[in-house]
Structure 1
Amino acid sequence: MKIQWSLILGLVFALITAIFAVINVNAVEVNLIFGVVNVPLILLILGSTLLGGLIVGSYGIYLQYRLQRKLKLAQAQLKQVQDATGYVFPEANTTEQAQQDSTQHKEI
């Protein structure tokens, strides 16, 4: 459901940006470090939006990668503790145990 809302909001934002860009088609001066460039405002708006989307997307991918690394490290530490102590947390076998419990209840 979260993906659907983010897709809808993304489309609404894209529509608003496109309308705003089409309304502003005048050429503007952009001061760069090495000089001044005349660029249509529509290209400047769309380029800025695209660059912002790329930056946000890259940051999101980086955060996802970092969280996956932390999860793998935590799982390795959990396995190490379980091997050292011989104790298995109840949450670790929930799917296997739930399947066994459901088959036992069906037999009774």
Structure 2
Amino acid sequence: MKGQSYVILAIIFVIIVAVFAVANVSPVEVNYLLGIGKAPLILVILFSVLMGGIITASAGVVKIIRQQREHKALQAECNRLRSILKEHGVDESEQITESEEDDSIEKQSGSET
């Protein structure tokens, strides 16, 4: 349902931008970095929206790549810790509850004194 709402919102946004762009067709002066030129306002609007979308998508892709790298690193760490547990003979299915963990910590600290 969440994906459908994004698609619906995107379609509504595209329609609004298209109507706005079509309503503004007069030529305007555009200041480029190296000079000045004239272009129809519709092209300026559509180009600006396109560039905004590309920049936003680029930032999203960079974030996804970072998250994938972090996920791989955490997965490798998890596998390493599982292998250590197997080496020490601890079964993965054994789960220690907080109360059992507190008791074992108290026993260890009591035996050290």
TM-score interval (norm. to shorter): 0.7 to 0.9
**SS of the counterpart of 2:28?**
strand
**SS of the counterpart of 1:21?**
helix
Structure having the higher Rg: 2
Q: Which has the bigger relative contact order, CA under 8 A and spacing at least 6?
A: 1
Runs of at least 5 residues in structure 1 that lack an aligned partner in the other structure? 91-108
TM-score, with length taken from structure 1 = 0.78
Q: CA deviation at 1:41?
A: 0.2
Distance of aligned partners of 1:44 and 1:83 in 2 relative to their CA distance in 1, 3 Å threshold: same
Map 1:53-64; keep pairs closer than 5 Å. Answer: 53-64=53-64
Residue 13 of structure 1 is matched in structure 2 by 13
1:67 partner letter: Q
1:40 partner letter: P
**SS of the counterpart of 2:15?**
helix
Matched residue count:
90
Report the identity percentage.
41
CA RMSD between the two structures: 1.4
Runs of at least 4 residues off by over 3 Å: none
TM-score, with length taken from structure 2 = 0.74
**SS of the counterpart of 1:33?**
coil
